[in-house]
Amino acid sequence: MKTELTRLVTFRLGDGTFAADIFSVERVLRYTAPAAVPDLPPWIEGVIEYQHRVIPVVDLRRRVELPEVERQHETRIIVLSTDAGLIGAVVDAVLEVAAVPSNSISPPPPLFRGLAAEFLRGIVKLDETLVVILDVNRVLTGADRIVLEQAMAGVAARA
């Protein structure tokens, strides 16, 4: 019997190791400061141009309520393909692409509630490290997208 594998792009946020399914990762970019857009939630850093499109950039540290740190040489923007379109996600460092047996991914424990639980797809152990797998479709909620679209429309109107 063949074991199904899930391929994950792993990355670091603070002391934690996180991952996203490889099929949701469009590209990894070197960090460049996004263009600021007024009237956005504090965890949306701004926007960047990617392949002739303007996409929002989310600071994942702020989004999952980790303390902010100064950007380092390893800081990257992961371009994620979500049900609602492309978004950029700022991470401290991209680590590796790992293949894990799909049946080794556990659902989030019930103690994860509120904001943290919204973004979790599961948890897997990788080389003695617990890796939190994000549900990239929940990084921006529908309400967040409406706020972002209104802010972008305001910027376009002022241009």
Name residues whose C-beta falls within 8 Å of residue 156's C-beta, 6 or more positions apart in sequence.
Answer: none
Q: Order of strands, edge to edge, in the sheet holding 25-30?
A: 25-30, 76-82, 85-91, 53-59, 44-50
pTM for this prediction: 0.86
pLDDT one-digit tens code per residue, 80-113 = 998 878 999 999 999 999 999 999 999 877 766 5
For residue 73, how many other CB atoms are within 10 A of its CB?
Answer: 7
Percent of the chain scored above 70 by pLDDT?
A: 87
For residue 124, how many other CB atoms are within 10 A of its CB?
Answer: 21
Specify the CATH number of the domain 5-158: 2.40.50.180
Task: In whole angstroms, give the CA distance from residue 22 to residue 124.
Answer: 15
